[in-house]
């Protein structure tokens, strides 16, 4: 247990119904990826103050993260959605609840027998998020991801891809340093290039530009895991011409 976590625990022992101390400890647990402990603490805080909207949203977030390690992820996803639903019932303008519910629904759709319906619900959540906050770049990005997922099994794939690109464009207009958006847009353009047609070369060129931009930003931000992912994607796009990229990456890491 960290010193900070220990201090918050001692404060709770002295005053068990002090919600602020519980929230402080739960934030520390969440940052340490103790999602089960975070859920427990958020639940305790909600017993004291049942209508804490932020606590409901954050408990939903913790449950979403917990699902990744669970033998029964669907249960955690549904509990997360229940928390977001409660938050929205208390305040139907709670932007973060709509956004996070859409993200959970997107994840559920990947493994659902009714994925099209789940994706539609996710799109509705992201669209409502944008309605409440037109400058929410993450909502445009997440909605673009859903359109990209739908394109994978749609007969009208080109329309879905273009909708994804339009959302990624808007996200980057709002927040030009979102490397993950460049990376995703680059892969959408690469997939469009694979279908051939008169614009195939244009899509291929733009795909390379996007992935290069994402790698540059990831590197600037010191995010080496995603930097390596961008290089791996570049290997796919430029087909077996990536050895120099990885050699350059190794040299960068040695000098850091």
| Residues 208, 233: Cα–Cα separation, whole Å | 9
Q: What is the DSSP track for 106-145?
A: HHHHTT-TTHHHHHHHHHHHHHHHHHH-TT-HHHHHHHHH
Closest listed residue to residue 228, CA positions, set 179, 169, 188, 168? 179
Q: Tell me the per-residue pLDDT of 70-122, one tens digit each, with 9 for 90 and over.
A: 899 999 999 999 999 999 999 999 999 999 999 999 999 988 767 889 999 99
Radius of gyration of the chain (CA): 21
Q: Is the dihedral of CA 33, 123, 134, 206 positive or negative?
A: positive
pLDDT in tens, 152-165: 888 889 999 999 99
In the chain, CATH 1.25.40.10 sits at: 51-176
**8 Å CB contact between 250 and 224:** no
User: Could you tell me the two tokens for 81?
Assistant: 């959605």
- pLDDT tens, 13-57? 445 555 555 677 777 788 888 899 889 888 988 888 899 999 999
Q: Which residues contact 199 (CB under 8 A, 6 or more apart)?
A: 192
Q: Collapsing DSSP states into helix, strand and coil, what is residue 216? A: helix
Query: Residue 128 has what pLDDT?
Result: 98
51-176: CATH topology: 1.25.40
Of residues 213, 214, 134, 146, the one with CA closest to residue 174: 134
Query: pTM here?
Result: 0.86
Distance CA 209, CA 43 (A): 46
Best CA proximity match to 193, nearest among 231, 143, 248, 238: 238
180: phi then psi, degrees, rounded to nearest 5: -65, -30
Q: Indicate the DSSP class of residue 15.
A: -
Measured distance CA(248)–CA(231) in Å, rounded: 10
Q: What confidence tier does 253 reach under pLDDT thresholds 50, 70, 90?
A: very low
**What percentage of the chain exceeds 90 in pLDDT?**
64
By the 10 Å C-beta count (0-12 exposed, 13-18 middle, 19+ buried), 9 is classed as middle
pLDDT value for 9: 45
At residue 231's C-alpha, the angle toward residues 227 and 236, to 5°, is 145
177 token code pair: 């340093």
Cα–Cα distance, 185 to 141 (Å, whole number): 10
Token readout for 228 is 């390596």
Q: Residue 197 gets which letter from DSSP?
A: S
For residue 126, what pLDDT is reported?
A: 98
């Amino acid at each position: 247990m960290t010193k900070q976590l220990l201090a918050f625990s001692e404060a709770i022992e002295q005053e068990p119904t002090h919600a602020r101390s519980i929230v402080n400890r739960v934030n520390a647990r969440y940052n340490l990826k103790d999602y089960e402990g975070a859920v427990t603490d958020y639940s305790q805080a909600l017993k004291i103050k049942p209508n804490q909207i932020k606590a409901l949203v954050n408990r939903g977030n913790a449950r979403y993260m917990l699902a990744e390690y669970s033998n029964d992820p669907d249960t955690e996803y549904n509990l997360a959605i229940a928390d977001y639903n409660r938050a929205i019932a208390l305040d139907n303008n709670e932007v973060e609840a709509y956004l996070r519910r859409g993200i959970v629904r997107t994840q559920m759709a990947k493994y659902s027998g009714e994925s099209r319906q789940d994706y539609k619900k996710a799109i509705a959540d992201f669209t409502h998020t944008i309605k409440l906050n037109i400058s929410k770049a993450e909502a445009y990005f997440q909605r673009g991801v859903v359109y990209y997922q739908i394109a994978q099994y749609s007969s009208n794939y080109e329309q879905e891809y273009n909708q994804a690109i339009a959302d990624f464009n808007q996200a980057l207009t709002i927040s030009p340093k979102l490397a993950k958006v460049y990376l995703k847009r680059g892969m959408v353009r690469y997939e469009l290039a694979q279908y051939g047609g008169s614009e195939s070369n244009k899509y291929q060129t733009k795909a390379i530009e996007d992935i290069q931009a994402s790698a540059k930003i990831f590197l600037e931000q010191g995010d080496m895991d995603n930097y390596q992912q961008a290089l791996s994607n570049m290997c796919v796009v430029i087909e077996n011409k990536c050895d120099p990229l990885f050699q350059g990456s190794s040299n960068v890491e040695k000098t850091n």
